[in-house]
Amino acid sequence: MAHVVTPLDQPSNYKDSQTRVDRQKQTELLAKSTTLYIGNLSFYTTEEQIYELFSKCASPEDGGGIKRIIMGLDRNTRTPCGFCFVEYYTHAEALASMRYVSGTKLDERIIRCDLDLGYKEGRQFGRGKSGGQVRDEHRQDYDPGRGGWGAQAQRMEVERRREVEERYADAQEGPGAVAGGGEEWKEVPGAVLETKKRARSPEEEAESARTAQRTRLEEEVEAERM
Choose, by CB under 8 A, the member of 21, 29, 39, 51 that binds another protein. Answer: 51
Q: How many residues bind another protein (CB under 8 A)?
A: 69
188 binds another protein (CB under 8 A): yes
Tell me the DSSP string of 130-141.
TSS-HHHHH--S
Helix count and strand count (H, E) for the chain: 6, 6
For residue 76, give the nearest of 39, 118, 130 by alpha carbon. Answer: 130
Cα separation of 135 and 145, whole Å? Answer: 14
Judged by CB under 8 A, which of 31, 134, 193, 212 binds another protein? 193
Q: How far is the CB of 102 from another protein (least distance, A)?
A: 9
Residue 118 as a binder of another protein (CB under 8 A): the answer is: no
Instruction: Report the residue from 150, 184, 223, 224 that binds another protein according to the rule CB under 8 A.
Output: 184
Question: Scanning residues 7 to 36, which ones bind another protein (CB under 8 A)?
Answer: 7-9, 13, 15, 17, 23
Per rule CB under 8 A, is residue 69 in the interface with another protein? yes
222 part of the interface to another protein, by CB under 8 A: no
d(CA 166, CA 77): 10
We find the least distance from the C-beta atom of residue 224 to another protein, in angstroms, to be 13
The answer to whether residues 69 and 52 touch, using CB atoms and an 8 Å cutoff, is no
> First and final CA of the chain: distance in angstroms?
43
Question: Cβ distance 113 to 101 under 8 Å?
Answer: yes
d(CA 35, CA 118): 5
Query: Where do contacts with another protein occur on this chain (CB under 8 A)?
Result: 1-9, 13, 15, 17, 23, 46-49, 51-53, 56-57, 59-65, 68-71, 96, 99-101, 103-108, 156, 159-160, 167-168, 178-182, 184-188, 190-195, 198, 201-203, 206
